[in-house]
Amino acid sequence: MKILITGGAGFIGSNFIYYWLKNHPDDTLVNLDKLTYAGNLDNLRDVESHPKYQFVQGDICDGDLVNELMFSVDIVVHFAAESHVDRSITGPQIFVQTNVVGTQILLDAAARHQVKRFHHISTDEVYGSLELNSQEKFHEGRKYDPHSPYSASKAGADHLVLAYYHTYNLPVTISNCSNNFGPYQYPEKLIPLFVTNLLDNKKVPVYGDGLYVRDWLYVEDHCRAIDVILTKGQPGETYCVGGNAEISNIELTRKILKLMGKGEEFINYVPDRPGHDRRYAIATSKIENKLGWKTRHSFNEALRKTVTWYQENEWWWRKLRNKKEGEN
């Protein structure tokens, strides 16, 4: 098969490429990535000369390029997105352009070339927020209630994907995932930010009271979930993918501090951000019961592996931190 992967130089996309080349060696992968701040060819250094892998630098909003690349493609796996909530608050326009308009352009080309499956990677943030002390979890039938420009743009993309299924019979699937973590995650995200700060003996910023709860999903488990959806999932269906690992930000911070031999004097409480959702949690019963997927990594094991990866790969994250600090 020939698979077009958008945003494959980003965090989850690059992990997916490694996963797919290892587990499906006969398939050909084309990676379309604009190489914005979160796209990094260093993520794919180990496969750049792989005979089954091709990189194309370009924008999913470039209709001519997308149409050209879609020729003879069997499957599209669409990761490309602006994804940082804080950035969406200060500059929402690019989120609408990339996440909504870019997705529509991809869908249009996929329908024109009659691809066999269009899989869209989305987020649990489209469902809004949950109460801290409730037992409720996000599920596929929950009403959308996005609270940030980022989540609103992803919600819009989700609706477009399903509209192309109903209107044009494009065989689509969607996965709404919880917070991913693991190797190659851009160091402005919580776990790599905290780990690299501590490696530099700097404090870690914790929003508000630190009681915000997230469900954490190890990126390798997410890649396997996508594989299962592509193999067994039904067109027109959405699947929620979570790590079944709910933890508050402050508890997560303390786990990272402990793994790195640091004390709580390295915690810096900072003012809360606007529209900060209190709790996310994912009900994974549909993908587990219908497709047979379950996580294979415990949260503590995966967190330890992730911390170790950043400790051993300063070559990768140091240049990104230096670049970001140079921009500020």
Reported as a single tens digit per residue, the pLDDT across 264-310 is: 999 999 987 776 778 999 999 999 999 999 999 999 999 999 999 99
Cα 234 to Cα 242: distance, rounded to the nearest angstrom = 19
List all residues 6 or more positions away from 150 whose beta carbon is below 8 Å from its beta carbon. 82, 83, 84, 85, 87, 88, 95, 99, 125
Question: In this model, does residue 328 exceed pLDDT 70?
Answer: no
Distances in Å between the alpha carbon of 101 and those of 93, 170, 184?
11, 17, 27
CA dist., res. 295 & res. 218, Å (int):
8
Query: Token match 């499957």: residue?
Result: 75
Tracing tokens 């609270």 back to the chain, one arrives at 147
| 125 is an active site residue | yes
Spatial distance between the Cα atoms of 59 and 243, rounded to a whole number of angstroms: 31
φ/ψ of residue 109, rounded to 5: -70, -40
The catalytically annotated residue of 33, 82, 108, 125 is 125
Give the separation between CA 201 and CA 248, rounded to whole angstroms.
23
Tell me: pLDDT of 89 over 90: no
Q: What angle do CA 186, 187, 191 make, to 5 degrees?
A: 105
164 part of the active site: no
Half-sphere exposure (Cβ direction) of 58: Cα atoms closer than 13 Å: 21
Question: Using N-to-C axis directions, what is the helix angle for 190-199 and 299-312, rounded to 10°?
Answer: 50
Q: Across residues 53-80, what is the average pLDDT?
A: 98
- 53, 127, 150, 186: the catalytic one is 150
Confidence of residue 84 (pLDDT cuts 50, 70, 90): low
pTM confidence score: 0.94
Tell me which of 105-109, 191-195, 206-210 is least confident: 206-210
Q: How confident is the model at residue 327 (pLDDT cuts 50, 70, 90)?
A: low
Cα 13 to chain centroid distance, Å, stands at 8
| Both structure tokens of 247 | 């933890």
Whether the per-residue pLDDT at 104 is higher than 70: the answer is yes
**Displacement of CA 277 from its chain's centroid (Å):** 18
Which of 124, 158, 237, 277 is an active site residue? 124
Where is pLDDT greater, at 294 or 94?
Answer: 294
pLDDT tens figures, 190-201: 999 999 999 999
Count CB atoms within 10 A of the CB of residue 101: 17
Q: 225-248, pLDDT tens digit by residue?
A: 999 999 999 999 999 999 999 999
User: Using 50, 70 and 90 to split pLDDT, how confident is the model at 325?
Assistant: low
Dump strand ranges (E) for the chain: 2-6, 28-33, 53-57, 75-78, 117-123, 172-177, 179-181, 204-207, 213-218, 237-241, 246-248, 267-270
Diameter of the chain measured on Cα atoms: 57
Task: Say if residue 14 is exposed, middle or buried (CB neighbours under 10 Å; 0-12, 13-18, 19+).
Answer: buried
At 7, which amino acid appears?
A: G
- CA-CA distances (angstroms) from residue 326 to 157, 195, 317, 323? 33, 20, 14, 5
What is the spatial distance between Cα 151 and Cα 75, in angstroms, rounded to a whole number? 25
Distance of CA 244 to the CA centre of its chain: 16
Enumerate domains of the chain plus CATH numbers. 2-181+218-241 (3.40.50.720)
In order, the DSSP letters of 101-149 are IHHHHHHHHHHHTT-SEEEEEEEGGGG----TT----B-TTSPP---SH
- % of the chain surpassing 70 pLDDT: 97
Is residue 108 flagged as an active site residue?
A: no
Residue 280, both tokens:
């996310």
pLDDT at 326: 57
